[in-house]
């Protein structure tokens, strides 16, 4: 995927991250609804009047076995949905949007790496505590939200263990890290895991 040449989208981690095989956190501007201008906030519609909503985005998926016949997608959401269904064998796909897809929080929280999460194991992610609306969206999707300080105390007291965590958003302090424009996914090294 070629990302639009805008400072907001430094690299792919700032646009989307896979949370589980069937759950993605994504910047709403690349959703189906945004590409079709459905349900747009009136103020945002006025502010975006001079730029096409998809920023000229073309999403093309190439298959090594059949390189001559690529598949085209209207939105990033369509591509990620296709990956979860056809490549990962999921029956349903859920999208969690940056800033709960509410203007102006969507863009503001994307700027502080709301999509740039580190997946410690399927469904257990680390992200910044300052992205309130994105955290609200995770709660709405059934995730438990816990501050890292509280989680470490739970580990030490034996109330829980890393093995028992599932569908959890771990909030990390973000004052300095997010100011430096770095999120957990882009600041980590790849991990080899058995569960993927």
Alpha-carbon distance of 16 to 31, in angstroms, equals 11
Alpha-carbon distance of 178 to 129, in angstroms, equals 10
Give me the pLDDT at residue 54, please.
Answer: 46
pTM: 0.79
Structure tokens at 26: 């994504």
Give me the pLDDT at residue 179, please.
Answer: 57
Range of the structural domain that residue 91 is part of = 12-180
Is there a domain that residue 98 lies in?
yes
Q: Are 30 and 82 contacting, i.e. CB atoms less than 8 angstroms apart?
A: no
Is there a domain that residue 38 lies in?
yes
90 is catalytic: no
Is there a domain that residue 192 lies in?
no
Is there a domain that residue 168 lies in?
yes
State the total domains in the chain: 1
- The alpha-carbon radius of gyration of the chain (Å, integer) is 17
Is there a domain that residue 49 lies in?
yes
Is there a domain that residue 153 lies in?
yes
**Segment 5-64, tens digit of pLDDT:** 655 555 677 788 999 999 999 988 776 666 655 555 666 555 554 444 445 567 888 888
Alpha-carbon distance of 10 to 26, in angstroms, equals 14
Is there a domain that residue 195 lies in?
no
Is there a domain that residue 100 lies in?
yes
User: Which residue among the candidates 186, 187, 190, 192 is catalytic per the annotation?
Assistant: 186
Q: Are 171 and 132 contacting, i.e. CB atoms less than 8 angstroms apart?
A: no
Does the pLDDT of residue 182 top 70, yes or no?
no
Structure tokens at 58: 């073309």
Give me the pLDDT at residue 29, please.
Answer: 78
**Segment 63-108, tens digit of pLDDT:** 888 899 999 998 889 999 999 999 999 999 999 999 998 888 888 8
């Amino acid at each position: 995927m070629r990302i639009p040449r805008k400072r907001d989208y430094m690299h792919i981690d700032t646009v989307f991250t896979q949370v589980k095989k069937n759950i993605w956190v994504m910047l709403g501007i690349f959703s189906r609804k945004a590409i079709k201008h459905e349900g747009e906030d009136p103020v945002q519609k006025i502010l975006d009047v001079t730029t096409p909503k998809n920023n000229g985005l073309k999403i093309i998926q190439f298959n090594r076995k059949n390189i001559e016949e690529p598949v085209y997608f209207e939105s990033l959401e369509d591509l990620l949905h296709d990956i979860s269904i056809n490549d990962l064998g999921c029956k349903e796909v859920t999208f969690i949007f940056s800033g709960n897809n509410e203007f102006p929080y969507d863009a503001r929280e994307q700027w502080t790496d709301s999509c740039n999460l580190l997946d410690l194991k399927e469904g257990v992610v680390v992200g910044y505590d300052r992205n309130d609306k994105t955290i609200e969206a995770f709660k709405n999707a059934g995730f438990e939200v816990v501050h890292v300080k509280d989680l470490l105390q739970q580990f030490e007291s034996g109330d829980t263990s890393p093995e028992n965590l599932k569908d959890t958003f771990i909030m990390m302090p973000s004052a300095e890290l997010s100011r430096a424009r770095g999120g957990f996914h882009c600041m980590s090294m790849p991990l080899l895991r058995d569960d993927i």
